[in-house]
């Protein structure tokens, strides 16, 4: 992409829950306030007519398009619908409970102009709505949708970032056929790793990963209920389950091996620290890692019966 080009960026936001109305409005406001002005915002309401009626007036802003799925298609298919309606040179994805830093899109665009990226993402900082949990190890911040320990401290290539802060060149994303519909949260379905899966396909096809820029910042709200053990253990379990599904699809789990080494290093550091809070984090680290492993093993045991 030539450096003198100002590409149009289509930002796709998917929403389903009426109780997130205020969060959705705050998310859209943060996008409207971007320092980079060449944007369009595509809001996909997934199977909730009440929510659609409440926010359809947002489309009075010429930069915003609001569309509606009559049925609950799930996150991946909703993103694909946003892609199908987009006009941008770059397609960025954003969550309905996130707040974008003022320079978020500007920093992503730099990666396409200066680094010849085909995909770019950035740092997701947790916005703790119920206070920061000192007991939660940073290695597992991904459970609450934030960037975890192990990402580059500056600009560097990674396999994938998360859906609150991930973008692609539109022609690259279209050539991949978008996200796989069976992946991603849908109604009661908890299959995850849709971003991982598509980025792995992209790396196989184009030989490039996602350019990570830690200055492209998004703040992701962490509601108190997301710090309850039921949520954390369930999310960890389904992540392990989803990784096994990815392996069955033929994807590499090399990055998961790197993450396990990060966890191992974290265990050693905390054992040596002599700090009570670090010992507490150590216990949480071991429990959550076990939950991921349990999910992986459960899928592995079920696989012969699903074929």
CATH number at residue 108: 3.90.550.10
Q: Is 7 within 8 Å of 170 (Cβ atoms)?
A: no
Which residue is it, tokens 């309905």? 96
Average pLDDT in the chain: 93
Average pLDDT over every residue of 23-41: 97
Confidence band of 5 (pLDDT split at 50, 70, 90): confident
Average pLDDT over every residue of 34-60: 96
| Boundaries of domain holding 149 | 9-226
Q: Is the pLDDT of residue 216 over 60?
A: yes
Domain-embedded: residue 243: no
How does DSSP classify residue 20?
G
Summarised one tens digit per residue, pLDDT across range 95-139 is 999 999 999 999 999 999 999 999 999 999 999 999 999 999 999
Q: Is the pLDDT of residue 226 over 80?
A: yes
Strand, coil or helix: what is 250?
coil
Q: What is the pLDDT of residue 69?
A: 95
Q: Is 136 within 8 Å of 97 (Cβ atoms)?
A: no
For residue 15, which of 63, 102, 60, 82 has the smallest C-alpha distance?
82
Q: Is the pLDDT of residue 190 over 80?
A: no
Q: Which residues contact 217 (CB under 8 A, 6 or more apart)?
A: 100, 101, 103, 104, 107, 122, 123, 124, 125
- Lowest-pLDDT range of 43-47, 58-62, 79-83, 248-252: 248-252
Domain-embedded: residue 79: yes
Q: What is the pLDDT of residue 254?
A: 87
Domain-embedded: residue 61: yes
Query: What whole-number distance in Å separates Cα of residue 168 and Cα of residue 83?
Result: 11
Q: What is the pLDDT of residue 192?
A: 76
Summarised one tens digit per residue, pLDDT across range 236-271 is 999 999 999 999 989 888 888 889 999 999 999 999
Q: Is 161 within 8 Å of 121 (Cβ atoms)?
A: yes
Q: Which residues contact 181 (CB under 8 A, 6 or more apart)?
A: 73, 74, 76, 77, 80
Q: Is the pLDDT of residue 274 over 90?
A: no
What is the C-alpha R_g of the chain?
19
Q: What is the pLDDT of residue 255?
A: 87
Q: What is the pLDDT of residue 111?
A: 98
Domains in the chain, number: 1
Average pLDDT over every residue of 54-80: 94
Domain-embedded: residue 250: no
Confidence band of 302 (pLDDT split at 50, 70, 90): confident
Helix ranges (DSSP H) in 123-187 = 170-175
Average pLDDT over every residue of 160-172: 96
Summarised one tens digit per residue, pLDDT across range 276-291 is 999 999 999 999 999 9
For residue 141, which of 152, 154, 132 has the smallest C-alpha distance?
132
Q: What is the pLDDT of residue 181?
A: 76
The dihedral sign for the CA sequence 9, 2, 198, 238: negative
Query: What whole-number distance in Å separates Cα of residue 45 and Cα of residue 14?
Result: 6
Domain-embedded: residue 252: no
Question: Which position has the higher pLDDT, 7 or 192?
Answer: 7
The angle at the Cα of 107, spanning 117 to 216, to the nearest 5 degrees, equals 100
Domain-embedded: residue 135: yes
Domain-embedded: residue 272: no
Query: What whole-number distance in Å separates Cα of residue 5 and Cα of residue 72?
Result: 38
Domain-embedded: residue 121: yes
Q: Is the pLDDT of residue 185 over 70?
A: no
């Amino acid at each position: 992409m030539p450096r003198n080009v100002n590409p149009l960026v289509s930002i796709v936001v998917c929403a389903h829950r009426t109780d997130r109305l205020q969060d959705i409005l705050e998310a859209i406001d943060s996008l409207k306030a971007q320092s980079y002005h060449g944007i369009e915002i595509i809001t996909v309401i997934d199977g909730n007519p009440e929510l659609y009626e409440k926010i359809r007036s947002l489309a009075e802003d010429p930069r915003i398009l609001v569309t509606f799925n009559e049925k609950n298609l799930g996150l991946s298919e909703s993103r694909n619908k946003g892609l199908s309606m987009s006009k941008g040179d770059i397609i960025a994805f954003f969550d309905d409970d996130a707040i974008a830093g003022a320079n978020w899109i500007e920093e992503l665009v730099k990666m396409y102009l200066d680094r010849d990226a085909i995909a770019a993402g950035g740092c997701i900082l947790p916005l703790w709505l119920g206070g920061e949990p000192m007991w939660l190890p940073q290695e597992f911040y991904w459970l609450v949708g934030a960037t975890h320990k192990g990402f580059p401290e500056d600009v560097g290539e990674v396999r994938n970032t998360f859906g609150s802060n991930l973008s692609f060149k539109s022609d690259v994303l279209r050539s991949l056929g978008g996200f796989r519909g069976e992946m991603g949260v849908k109604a009661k379905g908890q299959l995850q790793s849709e971003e991982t899966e598509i980025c792995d396909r992209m790396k196989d096809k184009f030989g490039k990963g996602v350019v990570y820029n830690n200055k492209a910042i998004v703040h992701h709200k962490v509601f108190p209920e997301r710090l309850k053990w039921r949520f954390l253990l369930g999310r960890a379990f389904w992540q392990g389950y989803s990784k096994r599904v990815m392996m069955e699809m033929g994807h590499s789990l090399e990055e998961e091996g790197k993450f396990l080494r990060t966890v191992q290093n974290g265990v050693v550091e905390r054992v040596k620290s002599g700090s009570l809070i670090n010992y507490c984090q150590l216990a949480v680290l071991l429990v959550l890692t076990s939950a991921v492993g349990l999910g992986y093993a459960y899928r592995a045991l079920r696989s012969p019966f699903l074929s």
